Structure 1
């Protein structure tokens, strides 16, 4: 795995915390040159600082990026592909976590926010990077959720974005596969990240999440990062259009 990622160039969105940060560190540790982006500049700069402290010769860069902003995404991609430089892999991790609302209490603003980041953001990044992807050998890994394969009451909008992302990704796999560019999806369950709504609430919510899977604990961001690194590696060279649930054995 290490050899197949060494000296690759990987664009990561949502790199400022949680799964995005853990994956950035993992990929950089494996020798990949990482291009770190997040809407939170302080967060993504901290991720870059942590990458730079690793014993890895690979380069790092960080930038503030709102994936919902088409023009900003296109400008950023152009800036990292000057002189014909290729992108080997893209990790579409930027997203907005859910807030529980009954449908009749959901606002248009909430709908627009989740759709613009969770779906349109991936669309913007994908469309902008396709012309610059290594072909063959390139890959995308997109972040869905257990909410993308299991429906939950009071989270209809979030579920819609994450189910939609899986459909979008499977279509990507069919369209880009003939070029030798793979697309796969990770669907994390209850992961211990700062933006997880249950973690924010704490107490009984954390306990409920931990008991919600057969391993009886929350997942760690690093455990998702390991799967992402695998999907980008040559070890997963025949995986295309796959959805990997990382949920500790979800109950029910």
Structure 2
């Protein structure tokens, strides 16, 4: 039997990058997936790749409680239940130290990266209690080891990792598991665009390879494979885990 047979997954930020890799991996593993994303063009592209019977594409922003609530309700109306909520939506900009970060930039990062988890949990936990499902959060290694010129982003990901553990304790009595995946560098459209804009593109690509002890910056599929495991019944006794999927980056940069 497929690892995620009969599972229904609600995934935020799933139309591109790591989110899209996860959506495709979930579908290959037998799940049905509802993807909420504010990028309507990327959502349409995803719909064109996938059977409408297996995918529910929902345009909306995780910064709106009403839109999150409506998206969760549409998922249940379409597929009958929710087994998994994967909180993947996030942004990394601006690239600044703390004293140069504006209040608006700080608030926007926290609203998208962290408060979105409050919204999906507030409106989705009742569904997960019914199915004894689970929550997966996309965090980042920088939340534990830091990153220069990304203070607000690092703060959101450190908060995401800590929040994962608190949520695991709160919802364990209901049979609901909560875990996180922690990538380091991953080639996504956003990262490729950023690297192409750098003066020394070759040097940047070498740097991104070098921060991983295994020697290369991966594609999103390596994150997706671990995500499939963490939301599957194979991980039924795993909760509160903040799982590095980082090629050993947390062990120390090679250069």
The yes-or-no answer on 1:199 pairing with 2:195 is yes
- Specify the alignment match of 1:133 in structure 2: 128
Counting matched residue pairs gives: 247
Which of 64, 78, 89 is 2:84 aligned to?
Answer: 89
Counterparts of 1:65-214 in structure 2, within 5 Å, are: 65-82=60-77, 85-135=80-130, 137-196=132-191, 198-201=194-197, 202-214=201-213
In the TM superposition, what is the alpha-carbon distance from 1:4 to its structure 2 partner? 4.2
Over residues 200-249 of structure 1, what are the superposed CA-to-partner deviations in whole Å (9 max), with x where a residue is unaligned? 43432121111112111101101100000000111111100001111111
Distance 1:72 1:105 in 2: 32
Distance 1:136 1:9 in 2: 10
Distance 2:118 2:110 in 1: 11
Runs of 4 or more, structure 1, over 4 Å off, are: none
Distance 1:83 1:188 in 2: 31
- DSSP 3-state at the match of 1:154: coil
- Specify the alignment match of 1:7 in structure 2: 6
In the TM superposition, what is the alpha-carbon distance from 1:149 to its structure 2 partner? 1.2
- Specify the alignment match of 2:214 in structure 1: 215
Aligned CA distance change for structure 1 residues 46 and 218 (closer, same or farther; 3 Å):
same
In the TM superposition, what is the alpha-carbon distance from 1:39 to its structure 2 partner? 0.9
Distance 1:159 1:83 in 2: 36
Distance 2:218 2:185 in 1: 6
Aligned CA distance change for structure 1 residues 131 and 209 (closer, same or farther; 3 Å):
same
Give the RMSD, CA atoms, in angstroms: 1.9
- Specify the alignment match of 1:23 in structure 2: 22
In the TM superposition, what is the alpha-carbon distance from 1:67 to its structure 2 partner? 0.3
- Specify the alignment match of 1:34 in structure 2: 33
Distance 2:95 2:75 in 1: 38
In the TM superposition, what is the alpha-carbon distance from 1:44 to its structure 2 partner? 1.8
For the 8 Å contact 2:83–2:134, the answer to whether it is kept is yes
In the TM superposition, what is the alpha-carbon distance from 1:80 to its structure 2 partner? 2.3
